[in-house]
Amino acid sequence: MIEKDDLRAAVAAGAITEAQAARILTLSAERKGHLSAARPDEEPFELFKGFNEIFIVVGLVILAAGWAGVSTAAALTGFNNVFGLIVARSLVAAGIIWALSEYFIRRRRMVAPAITLTIFWALNTTLGFSASYAEPFMVAQQDWSSTIIPLALASGALLLYWVRFRVPFALALVAIGIFILITVSLAVQAGDPGEISDLFLLSSEGPFALATLLFGVGVFAVAMWFDMSDPHRVTRRASNGFWLHVVAAPAIVNTVALTLITSEAPGARLALVVFLGALALVAIVIDRRSFLIAAVGYVVALSAQLEEGMGIATLILLLGVVLVLLGAFWERIRGVLMGMLPFLPRAKLPPVG
């Protein structure tokens, strides 16, 4: 263990500066505080720090509603071009949102206002770029080619927002924006899917289902990169991984589960159970309940919507029992599983409590 005397000696020897030594001590104190406050069998998650944040979120929502009403009423008296009005209002709103973000996110370090402002930024940039570049008459005729540029610009604006303010939730919106952009681009090139299920069925024609699956795997890989860079989960990198897992799980499950549920093959239900079991093993190894609950929750919702009867009800019942047991004995199960898999990179995975 490196003590304060060691850091003082390093500063005296010129190995590090006093500022670097201070930052190391600060980081060490923060890590000890996080690790002592969190139980070893818990996955860190935070939506707000106190009711004051909820108070500010309510104020931001009311402010946004009032701004929309006042700006629209005032601008309509001097604007004949509706789309020009939307662009002008979006530019002003972008400046306001950015200024509020500088205060509530970078200075006050608030969680719930950060998520709210991120949503406002996403909606505002999407609306503004769509009004600037999208052609409504082409969209009305199901020609989506004019929406590619605004979708790309909106995703880029969200990525810029994340780079500046490091809001983990923004990465989830960036991933969703990229998915929509990929889907629209494929629809322009390969033609619109006949039904919405064609987007996710591997048995259907077209590249949509495979693209969805590859997208989910790609987002999962990025999430794991964040997770493995912070195995103790005391920095924002772990929060980035959390939100990306929430996006990756439905993207992966949607394609595979929907294909198996709608399949008439005799072993389809068994394959679905094996697939969910494999996802559970992955979630336990990486210690991410968020990945598993997003996947299982999506499967339950999908199954309840597509099928009725004793078979699907039994599957949902079993999934509920498994989730309750995993929640009760997660750390014990993980300890046994990690002991059975010695080849795993333990140094880059959360330690077993």
pLDDT value at residue 20: 78
Give the end of a domain, one of 192, 223, 239. Answer: 192
**Are 156 and 299 members of one domain?**
no
The percentage of residues in the chain with a pLDDT greater than 70, rounded to a whole number, is 80
**Are 154 and 277 members of one domain?**
no
List, for residues 111-155, the tens digit of each pLDDT value.
899 999 999 999 999 988 888 887 777 766 677 788 899 999 999
Residue range 336-352: mean pLDDT, rounded: 84
pLDDT value at residue 123: 93
List, for residues 93-111, the tens digit of each pLDDT value.
999 999 999 999 998 888 8
Tell me the pTM: 0.80
Name the range with the highest mean pLDDT among 19-33, 122-136, 217-231, 289-303. 217-231
**Are 337 and 282 members of one domain?**
yes
* Whether pLDDT at 44 is above 80: no
pLDDT band at 302 (very low <50, low <70, confident <90, very high): low
Residue range 231-255: mean pLDDT, rounded: 86
If DSSP states are collapsed to H, E and C, what string results for 243-295?
HHHHHHHHHHHHHHHHHHHHCCCCCHHHHHHHHHHHHHHHHHHHCCHHHHHHH
Comparing C-alpha atoms, which of 210, 157, 154 is closest to residue 186? Answer: 210
**Are 102 and 210 members of one domain?**
no
Bigger pLDDT: 16 vs 243: 243
pLDDT value at residue 163: 95
Residue range 38-53: mean pLDDT, rounded: 68
* Whether pLDDT at 33 is above 60: no
pLDDT value at residue 165: 94
Residue type, 6: D
Is the sign of the CA dihedral 51, 57, 60, 64 positive or negative?
negative
pLDDT value at residue 322: 81
**Are 198 and 319 members of one domain?**
yes
Is the sign of the CA dihedral 193, 199, 202, 208 positive or negative?
positive
pLDDT band at 16 (very low <50, low <70, confident <90, very high): confident
**Are 228 and 104 members of one domain?**
no
**Are 262 and 160 members of one domain?**
no
pLDDT value at residue 330: 85
Number of domains in the chain: 3
pLDDT value at residue 232: 82
Give the end of a domain, one of 146, 174, 192. Answer: 192
Residue type, 15: A
List, for residues 193-210, the tens digit of each pLDDT value.
666 666 667 766 667 888
Task: Return the C-alpha torsion angle 155, 161, 166, 170, nearest 10.
Answer: -40
pLDDT value at residue 205: 66
241's tokens: 């991984």
* Whether pLDDT at 315 is above 90: no
Residue ranges of E strands in the chain? none
- Give the containing element (helix H, strand E) for 159: helix 148-165
List, for residues 257-275, the tens digit of each pLDDT value.
777 777 777 777 788 778 8
pLDDT band at 37 (very low <50, low <70, confident <90, very high): very low
For residue 310, the enclosing domain spans 193-353
**Are 204 and 351 members of one domain?**
yes
275's tokens: 């697939």
Bigger pLDDT: 144 vs 89: 89
* Whether pLDDT at 308 is above 70: no
**Are 224 and 312 members of one domain?**
yes
- Give the containing element (helix H, strand E) for 315: helix 310-340
Distances (CA, A) of 337 to 31, 98, 294: 27, 46, 22
**Are 147 and 221 members of one domain?**
no
Residue range 54-70: mean pLDDT, rounded: 90
What's the rounded Cα separation, in Å, for the pair 199 and 288? 27
pLDDT value at residue 95: 94
* Whether pLDDT at 38 is above 60: no
User: Are the beta carbons of 275 and 256 closer than 8 angstroms?
Assistant: yes
* Whether pLDDT at 41 is above 60: no
Comparing C-alpha atoms, which of 330, 302, 333 is closest to residue 316? Answer: 302
103's tokens: 């205060």
pLDDT value at residue 152: 94
pLDDT value at residue 353: 65
Comparing C-alpha atoms, which of 307, 209, 214, 314 is closest to residue 264? Answer: 307
First to last CA, the chain: 20
**Are 187 and 199 members of one domain?**
no
pLDDT value at residue 35: 45
pLDDT band at 251 (very low <50, low <70, confident <90, very high): confident
**Are 322 and 264 members of one domain?**
yes
pLDDT value at residue 7: 72
Residue range 216-237: mean pLDDT, rounded: 89
